[in-house]
Copies of this chain bind each other. A is one copy, B any other.
Amino acid sequence: MPQDKQTNRRIVLASRPHGAPTEANFRLESQHVPTAGQGEVLLRTVWLSLDPYMRGRMSDAPSYVAPVGVNEVMGAGTVAIVEQSNNENFTPGDWVVSQSGWQDFAVSNGKDLFKLTGPVLKHPSWALGLLGMTGFTAYMGLLDIGTPQPGETVVVAAATGAVGSMVGQIAKLKGCYVVGIAGGEEKCRYAEQVLGFDRCLNHRAADLAEALKRYCRDGIDVYFESVGGKVFSAVLPLMNTKGRIPVCGLIADYNSTESSPGPDLLPQFQSAILRKRLRVEGFIITQDYGHRFGEFFSQMSQWVEQDRFVFREDCIDGLDNAPETFIGMLEGRNFGKVLIRVAGDKP
C-alpha cells in the first residue's frame, strides 16, 4: 500500500507485548492528513528509522523516557520532506530529521526539526544513520566513555549492526585492534573483509568464550555493550585492569519476561568491577550528549567526505512492513542499519 497525499497511515501500539512483540501488538490505521496551523509545517515521511531501544518504549516499566501509550503512534526518528509551511524557517521541499514516528504525515512547530543541508542531502537516510543518532551513539559511547588508546583492544557486540559497525570503524581509525562479535558467518566475513575489523567471531559458536580468548590475546580494554546475555559473560573474564564498558543497549534481554535462573552472576560482575577497577557506564545519546551533536556532526562529516566509512543500510519498502521488520531486528535478522522506505524520494 503506497503513500498517498489524502491519507495518513499510522501504526499505533495496539497492546503491550509480553516477551517478544508480535504483529498483534501493532495496528495500522488510516486518518485524514492533518493540517498545519499557524507557525507549523506539514511533514511527509520518507525514511523511518527502526532501533532496538523502541522495544523499551513499548513497555510501561519505569524507564528513562515515557512509554508509548496504547493506541498512540509508535515513536521514531524519521527523515521527512516539508510539504506545507506556515513557519518562516522552512520552505516546502526542505528535508528534515524529525521525531514524527511510524506514520506518513505529521505536523510540527519546527522546534524539534533538524534541517538537512550540504553533503548529507546526497544521501538523506544517512541523517538517521552514519550522520545521525546511530553514528552519534557509536562516536560518543566509544570516544567519551570508552576512551580507546592506540594499540588497545576494543570488542564490539552486534558488530555489523548500525551502531556496532560504526564503533568498530571509529576504533580502527583510532589505531585500536578491533574484534567484532556478530550473528553468523556471513556477518563475520563482512566485518573482517568490508568493515576492516581485525577479527570477527560468530556468537553462535559453541566455544564462544574460548574463541574470544584466542582472538584477544592481550585481553580487552574496551567492550562496547549493546547486547548483554552470553556475549557479556564471555567478555567479562577477558577485561583488562582499568577497562571501560560503555553500555548503550542490552538487546538480548529486552524480551525477557522473568528473572533468569541461577547461578547468580552478579557477584562475579561486581568482583570484576572491583578487582579490575572497571568503569561501566550506561548512556542515552540524546540525553547525555545532545549538547555535543555539533562536534560529532562536524567530525563525522569530514570522515564521510574522506570516504572513511562503510555504512550498510538494510532498507525495507513500505510503512506496513514496519512491525514485521522491527520484530525481525530484535531477533538479529537484519544486516546493517534498519530503515523503512515509507515513500520515494521524489515529491
A contact residues vs B (CB 8 Å cutoff) = 56, 62-64, 225, 228-229, 232, 241, 247-250, 253, 256, 259-271, 273-284, 287-288
Cα–Cα distance between A277 and B277 once the two chains are bound (Å): 19
Q: Are A62 and B275 in contact (CB under 8 A)?
A: yes
Given B250, B266, B270, B284, which contacts A247 in the complex, CB threshold below 8 Å? Answer: B270
A-B contact pairs, 28 of them (CB 8 A): A62-B275, A228-B267, A229-B267, A247-B270, A247-B273, A247-B274, A248-B274, A250-B270, A253-B271, A259-B267, A260-B264, A260-B267, A261-B262, A261-B264, A262-B263, A264-B264, A264-B265, A264-B266, A269-B269, A273-B280, A273-B282, A275-B282, A276-B282, A277-B282, A277-B284, A278-B281, A279-B281, A279-B282
Residues of the B chain whose Cβ atoms lie less than 8 Å from the Cβ of A282 = 273-279
Cα–Cα distance between A246 and B276 once the two chains are bound (Å): 13
- Closest CB-CB distance, A68 to chain B, in whole Å? 16
Cα–Cα distance between A247 and B266 once the two chains are bound (Å): 14
Q: Which 10 A-B pairs have the closest CB atoms?
A: A262-B262, A260-B264, A259-B263, A265-B266, A274-B282, A273-B282, A277-B282, A280-B280, A279-B281, A261-B262
Residues of the B chain whose Cβ atoms lie less than 8 Å from the Cβ of A248 = 274
Cα–Cα distance between A288 and B270 once the two chains are bound (Å): 18
> How many copies make up the complex?
2
- Closest CB-CB distance, A205 to chain B, in whole Å? 22
Given A259-B263, A264-B265: A271 touches B250 (CB 8 Å cut-off) = yes
Residues of the B chain whose Cβ atoms lie less than 8 Å from the Cβ of A264 = 259-266
- Closest CB-CB distance, A138 to chain B, in whole Å? 16
The residue on B at minimum CB distance from A262 is B262
Q: Are A283 and B288 in contact (CB under 8 A)?
A: no
Residues of the B chain whose Cβ atoms lie less than 8 Å from the Cβ of A262 = 259-264
Residues of the B chain whose Cβ atoms lie less than 8 Å from the Cβ of A225 = 270
Cα–Cα distance between A284 and B277 once the two chains are bound (Å): 7
Cα–Cα distance between A152 and B260 once the two chains are bound (Å): 33
Cα–Cα distance between A232 and B264 once the two chains are bound (Å): 14
Cα–Cα distance between A184 and B264 once the two chains are bound (Å): 27
Q: Are B270 and A232 in contact (CB under 8 A)?
A: yes
Q: Are B287 and A267 in contact (CB under 8 A)?
A: no
Q: Are A261 and B259 in contact (CB under 8 A)?
A: no
Q: Are B266 and A249 in contact (CB under 8 A)?
A: no
